[in-house]
Amino acid sequence: MKEYDILVVGAGAGTKLVTPPSLIGKRVVVFEKETPGGTCLNRGCIPSKMIIYPSELIRLREEGKRFGIEFPKPTTVPVESIFQRVNQTVKVDSDSIPLAYEKNPNIDYIPKKVWFKGSKVLTDGENEYTAKHIFIVTGTRPKIPNIQGLENTPYWTSREALSPANFPKSLLIIGAGFISLELGAAYQAYGCQVTGITRGEVLRHVDGDVKTELCKHLPFPIHTDFQFESVSYQNKKFKVSGKTKEGKFTQFEADELLVATGIKPNTDELHLENTNIQVNEEGYIQVDGTLQTGEPGVYAFGDVIGRYFFRHSANFEGEYLFEHLFGNKKDQPIVYPPIPEAIFTNPQIASVGKTEETLIKEGISYYKGINPYSSSATGMARLSHLGFVKVLVSKETEQVLGAHIIGEEASNLIHQILMGMYLNAKLDDYLGMVYIHPAISEITRNAFRKVREQKWKEGKS
């Protein structure tokens, strides 16, 4: 039995509990069965945004047409070299993680799969390990739908779509979540003919007004309410068959097929049945207010607990655990600040807090302010033809309950509201600021002015 102070399963967000505690003298062992850095570095956030940004440059040609500016069509779009550069950059970053660990005498990095043999005992099949504190940070993987014939085809998940052997002329995407919209928009800009198909609706979790605006300006066509019947692959072509919402039999065909229909937790190979750790019906690990599992001394965080599915929220949880166990917050449960999200499609989307539909369902009284990009000086300068900032403000406290943005720079614009929510700012605080004219942030100010106008109409000062 090899004993450590800390044992970490997963070298993605789990790295938050590797180097920091090692610097205060803790002996740490970290296990990773795949490439270090986790989904975000290797198969998610970072490579996808590196692929998306050049595609946005290509779209600038279309933007120029609104001003009567005709840019010549690019004679070459080096798609393959772009993907090669992205994957090489990611590989160098990923490879640097174990190299850094090797230089630290307090860290052992073991590139193997590990599972529980007992309550606080793990094995890699050869040796057994234990520690005072154990952290499970194994993340999630793509969830594959049960469609006849699909499993017998060489379909893609996001992993293959981020490092294709050859760039396809056409692509079918099953699913209409953020992965579909981000990668589909990029592929479309690079010259691939993209078609989306989904059983449900586009981005079912987002605010209704945002969804309506997005569906008017989709970066590629998406067929909703589709009843899948079968998937086949012959002569290097995928065929997806089924019925439209009108009941018409339809068959789609393309060179490649991307399946992006959700995720599932990586808990099924941990042999949690040998412990007191509990999972919910979807397989996500259950934790208490301090992120501790049912097994004392064993903690879990990140995607595997199913609370939030962002690297920034996983980082926050990891930083909390370091402070809770080894810092100055030993008796405090985790308190999440407002957690934002962004979808880097075209148009960009960002949100934080509750949607309007949630407020209605929960019976919470609110003011609503929506201001389109076009109704601002910046919008006039940019000839904005889509997008808005939407704020939902409590009638009781006049604090922001939710904010939803669709349009240019949405992922940056949301932070102004996010900071206000974190500091418990009220309507007057947002309106009392002096905004640079004519900066894009005036769109946010105008949304809050719409809230104030709604107050006045209700006879409130």
Separation of alpha carbons 65 and 72, rounded Å = 11
How many helices and strands in the chain, by DSSP H and E?
13, 21
Structure tokens at 425: 């700012």
Q: Establish whether 182 is an annotated binding residue.
A: yes
DSSP, collapsed to helix, strand or coil, labels residue 195 as strand
Question: How many Å apart are CA 282 and CA 284, to the nearest integer?
Answer: 6
What is the secondary structure of 47-83 as a DSSP string? HHHHHHHHHHHHHHHHHHHTTT--PPPPS---HHHHH
Query: Is 243 marked within a binding site?
Result: no
The reply to whether 180 sits in an annotated binding site is yes
Catalytic residue among 205, 217, 385, 437: 437
Q: Are the C-beta atoms of 413 and 435 separated by less than 8 Å?
A: no
Catalytic, 437? Answer: yes
Query: Which tokens sit at 281?
Result: 């019906």
Cα(67)–Cα(248) distance, integer angstroms = 41
CB-facing half-sphere around the CA of 195: CA atoms within 13 A:
16
254 is in an annotated binding site: no
Continuous segment of H or E residues that includes residue 90: helix 79-102
Residue 368 among known ligand-binding residues: no
Q: 81 near 169, Cβ under 8 Å?
A: no
At 390, list the tokens: 């939407």
**303 is annotated as contributing to ligand binding:** yes
Give the pair of three-digit tokens for residue 17. 């509990």
Is 175 annotated in some ligand binding site?
A: yes
DSSP E strands in 10-159: the ranges are 28-31, 107-110, 115-118, 121-123, 128-136, 140-142
Is 322 annotated as a binding-site member?
Answer: no
Cα 87 vs. chain centroid, distance in angstroms? Answer: 19
**C-alpha–C-alpha distance, residues 124 and 271, integer Å:** 12
Hey, what's the torsion of the CAs at 344, 345, 346, 348, to 10 degrees? Answer: -40
Query: Any idea how long the chain is?
Result: 461
Q: Confirm whether residue 38 is marked as ligand binding.
A: no
- C-alpha span between 288 and 296 (Å, rounded): 11
The two tokens of residue 451 are 């809230």
Cβ partners under 8 Å of residue 247, min gap 6: none
Binding residues for FAD: 49, 303
Binding residues for NAD(+): 175-182, 262
Binding residues: 49, 175-182, 262, 303
Residues tagged active-site: 437
